[in-house]
Structure 1
Amino acid sequence: MNAVVAAVAVMLILSLCRVHVVVALIIGAVVGGLLGGLGVEATLEAFQGGLGKGANVALSYALLGAFAVAIAKSGLAHALADKALGLVNRQQSGGTGLLKGMLVLVLLAVAISSQNILPIHIAFIPLLVPPLLYVMGKLNLDRRLIACVLTFGLITPYMFLPVGFGGIFLNNILLANVSESGADVTAVNVMRAMALPALGMLIGLAVAVFISYRKPRQYDMERIEQTERVGANYNPLSLLVALVAVAAAFVVQLWLDSMIIGALTGFVIFSVSGVVRWREADDVFTEGMKMMAMIGFIMIAAAGFAEVMRATGSIQTLVDSSAELIGHNKALAALLMLLVGLLITMGIGSSFSTIPIIAAIYVPLALQLGFSPLAIVALVGTAAALGDAGSPASDSTLGPTSGLNVDGQHNHIWDTVVPTFLHYNLPLLVFGWLAVMVL
């Protein structure tokens, strides 16, 4: 069996069996390394060598967690949640449907905006979502629905709109790598190429909202109250400082392109202003780092996992063996290349990192089979995006979990990974294949 396929399969099976994702990634990497012929020492060396690549992201999320706790102490997010809770309390029995819809739309709009208008990616989730958990609980809103909404907003904009993170993914990575690999993309409209795959994502969202998770789901309100400090104290000054800190953090992040410095700037403003007292600063910082510890360690382990997969050389073997099966069958070629992309992205957790791996192989093969440049862009772009939703190691699933599981009532695998995999990867596979065949 191919080492990449085996490693990803082991990691996913263990995760579904409720083995912690970090442990699943380590075991999967070892299995993949041994099957790939690396041996124990070489496997561990490759894994340890890749860990450093995830350190920057992990530190960013740790500082973001400290910043989120500081915002919680200021009462800003709780003030917004209190307003929403007031609306809930004024509703008559059975009249909360409109509020549910409004809450879903607001979170969807914020998630989409985090990719382009204010490109902060998942940074908003631990700031905005936890204080709203009490409101969601009062509305009996299924958190799996919110996970699907957030993941849609984190993925679809960058794979369709060429602005913000989409500008990086579509122009700087997708078109650039397809061009370097031999296809003429000068006349390619990247939005047209990715329109059908994006439509698949939209259909998946509609199914989640209107069919899969429309029924009420109850959560333990006492656990939410204990975690989120319902009724937190705040005053106009603390709210003003919070607004200034949030604005400063976002401006610094966009200016220096550093989530680390942005979050640190916001935390310093809270400390200097007195909203977070000096003697409490260390505890607040530690609490925030604990909140984001899981996502940080998973990202670090995922970087090591990805490095082992590259070191085995089995990604190339997987692509080559798929090419041998294809022959001159364009429909089968498109399907197999999309499935290979799904496997790779599920393993390494990053669609941005998948494109350079697959473009060099896919583009010459697709040209040989007679695919148009537009179809090739759709093929490579969809193959990379597949697996971003539904990967245990993707920040598009880890981010929603970090906000929805602060009270321990939202399981990363069964409440985020599995729902997003089913609602997005399956329609994305179908509509991506359709786009490649008709363009």
Structure 2
Amino acid sequence: MEYAVIVSVLVLIALSLFRLNVILALMGAAVTAGLLAGLSFIDSIELLISGMGGRADTALSYILLGVFAVMIGYSGITGFLVTNLVKLLKNKRAALLLTIAGVACLSQNLVPVHIAFIPILIPPLLHLFDHMKINRRAVAVSLTFGLKAPYMLIPVGYGLLFHDIIFESMNDNGMNIALDQIWQAMIIPVGGMVIGLLIAVFVTYRKDKETNTGNIDVTEAEASLKDTKKFQWSHLLTLIAIVFALLVQVWTESLVIGALTGIAAMFIFRIVPVKEADQTVNDGVRMMGMIAFVMLLASGYATVLKDTGAVEQLVAVTSDTIGGSQLFGAVVMLLTGLLITMGIGSSFGTIPILAALFVPLSASLGFSPLATAALIGTAGAIGDAGSPASDSTLGPTAGLNADGRHDHIWDTCVPTFLHFNIPLFICGLAAAFVL
């Protein structure tokens, strides 16, 4: 059935929007695609399972990075770095917001702690935000920018994961591209995110935010951070461990080996006691395990779509419908990415699904490999900002709602959707025709 892909994707989106767990939603979509393609229920499940090994290295990378992030948080260095940067800019709202975005950027590449830094940074600063009349929606936008833009552009840490997924997905589906070309394809889309951040900071949320601060003084926020002011010996050793992990990752081009190096260094330097090994590993798995398993299922789902021939049939039908129009084709691809990513909440997990459809469609429309990479990367990222199920929105809300005064949908998801998905869509289209 030529519409098996569309129906299964719609099932995925519908189940996700009804708040069914993404794992069950992916399984439901995969079974739907298999049944529509003429497979039995058992054969559909077996095909799904057979394809899950395609992203085993990526899933393991997520788990190990989660463990490493917990260890870095254990050392206290994140609190030290963030606190001292923020306190220098406490009376400059725009500079403070941009600094928060910058610190968040470090969490994806240089110090790959992902969202683990937010509970350390944000709750103690809530009173400071109120005192300075900073709109928390601006903080949410700044945090989400830092959680997304760096991994889209920079091939280090989570960025290496993101680029490697695009690289492997494109090559697996018959379009050759070099790993070091992916960042070039993402420059224009990330430029759109920069514009969205600047509009939020200097235009949308520039005016004072009236808040009920009561008798709270700025010193209260400072007092809550006093324990993280002093640089300690363990902080220096943690920095050395991070450098080791980064150098090994670049040298071996393996995030797994890099993360293992960092973990080993944290134990060798006795920053994390061996007796805490079980707890740190458990915490790391708890933080990143869900995403890792979604990656495995997404790979299996993509296998079902490809091996049943549903993708080829859809490409043929879509190509005829589009009529060779690159503009219409690019718009359809980006809208598809928006809907899928909004549903499952993971740009990383979306890429293998999108690539199975986008690569043959892009080839039929005459898009270059760079343009195809830009479309896949943008379509995977678009919708992540603004998705209620995304780490990019859940993380900021977890920190900003520590006092119960920040709504996840209206104060995080809606602002980030408007400020990032709109410019991503426009710049993604531009990249497809410039590259």
Counterpart of 2:148 (choices 125, 146, 151) is 151
Q: Are residues 1:248 and 2:244 paired? A: yes
Mind listing any 5+ residue stretches in structure 2 that lack a counterpart? 131-135, 212-223
Q: Which residue is 1:28 aligned to?
A: 29
Change (3 A) 1:309 1:349: same
- 5+ residue gaps in structure 1? 182-188, 219-228, 368-374
Distance in structure 2 (CA, Å) of the matches to 1:392 and 1:14: 17
- Give the aligned length: 400
Query: Residues 75 and 195 of structure 1: is their aligned pair in 2 closer, same or farther, counting only changes over 3 Å?
Result: closer
| RMSD after superposition | 4.7
Aligned 1:21-420 pairs, distance under 5 A: 21-84=22-85, 86-87=87-88, 91=90, 96-108=93-105, 110=106, 114=109, 123-126=112-115, 128-134=117-123, 137=126, 138-139=128-129, 141-142=136-137, 144-145=140-141, 146-156=143-153, 200-210=192-202, 236-327=232-323, 331-333=327-329, 335-336=331-332, 349=349, 351=351, 358-363=358-363, 365-366=364-365, 376=368, 379-390=371-382, 400=392, 404=396
Contact 1:78–1:131 (CA<8 Å) still a contact in 2?
Answer: yes
In 1, are the aligned partners of 2:5 and 2:311 still within 8 Å (CA)? Answer: yes
CA contact (8 A) 1:355 1:381 kept: no
For 2:267 and 2:352, locate their aligned partners in 1 and report how far apart those are by CA, in whole Å. Answer: 36
C-alpha distance in 1, partners of 2:411/2:297? 21
Q: Which amino acid is 1:262 matched to?
A: G
Moved more, 241-250 or 257-266: 257-266
Look up the equivalent residue of 2:378 and give its one-letter code: L
Instruction: Name the residue aligned to 1:222.
Output: none
**Which amino acid in 1 is paired with 2:377?**
A
Does the Cα contact within 8 Å between 1:379 and 1:432 map onto a contact in 2? no
CA distance in 2, matches of 1:341, 1:194: 15
Give, in whole Å, the separation in 1 of the partners of 2:39 and 2:408.
31
Structure 1 residues 19 and 420: alpha-carbon distance in aligned structure 2, compared to 1, 3 A threshold: farther
* C-alpha separation in 2, matches of 1:22 and 1:97: 40
User: 1:210–1:35: structure 2 CA closer, same or farther, 3 Å change rule?
Assistant: farther
Cα distance between partner residues in 1 of 2:123 and 2:82: 8
Note the alpha carbon deviations across 1:47-102, whole angstroms, 9 max, x for none: 111222233222222221221121122111111133245447xx46xx54431233
Note closer, same or farther for the CA distance 1:359–1:47 as it changes in structure 2 (3 Å cut).
closer
Please give the alpha-carbon distance, in whole angstroms, between the structure 2 residues aligned to 1:69 and 1:304: 29
Alpha-carbon spacing, 1:280–1:209, altered in 2? closer, same or farther (3 Å): same
User: Structure 1: how far apart are the matches of 2:184 and 2:280?
Assistant: 47
CA separation in 1, counterparts of 2:184 and 2:258? 35
TM-score, normalization: structure 2?
0.71
Give 1:133's aligned amino acid.
I
Is contact 1:58–1:299 with CA below 8 Å preserved after alignment?
A: yes
TM-superposed CA distance for 1:246, in Å, is 0.9
Report the residue type matching 2:150 in the other structure: G
Tell me by how many angstroms 1:361 deviates.
4.6
| CA distance in structure 1 between the aligned counterparts of 2:70 and 2:185, rounded to whole angstroms | 42
Which residue in the other structure is 1:226 paired with? none
In structure 2, C-alpha distance between the alignment counterparts of 1:96 and 1:195, rounded to whole Å: 27
Distance in structure 2 (CA, Å) of the matches to 1:103 and 1:127:
14
Show the counterpart of 2:217. Answer: none
Cα shift readout 1:380-403 (whole Å, capped 9, x = no counterpart): 34432332114669xxx9664685
Q: Which moved more, 1:20-29 or 1:375-384?
A: 375-384
How far apart are 1:423 and its partner, in Å? 4.7
Deviation at 1:307, TM superposition (A): 1.7
Identity %: 32
Q: Which amino acid aligns with 1:284?
A: T
1:371-424 Cα offsets, whole Å, 9 max, x none, are: xxxx6456534432332114669xxx9664685476696999998887666555
**Which residue identity lines up with residue 102 of structure 1 in the other structure?**
T
Residue deviations 1:276-310, cap 9 Å, x none? Answer: 12222222222222122222222222222222222
Amino acid at match of 1:259: L
Sort the Cα spacing of 1:238 and 1:32 in 2 relative to 1 into closer, same or farther, 3 A: same
Deviations 1:144-169 (A, max 9, x none): 412144323322567xxxx9899979
Are the equivalent residues in 1 in contact too, given 2:337–2:383 (CA < 8 A)? Answer: no
CA distance in 2, matches of 1:21, 1:431: 29
* CA–CA distance in structure 2, aligned partners of residues 34 and 354 of structure 1: 20
In the alignment, is the contact (CA less than 8 A) between 1:74 and 1:238 conserved in 2?
A: yes
The alpha-carbon distance between structure 1 residues 334 and 248, as it changes in their structure 2 partners (threshold 3 A), is: closer
8 Å CA contact 2:330–2:429 kept in 1: the answer is yes
Q: Name the counterpart of 1:225.
A: none
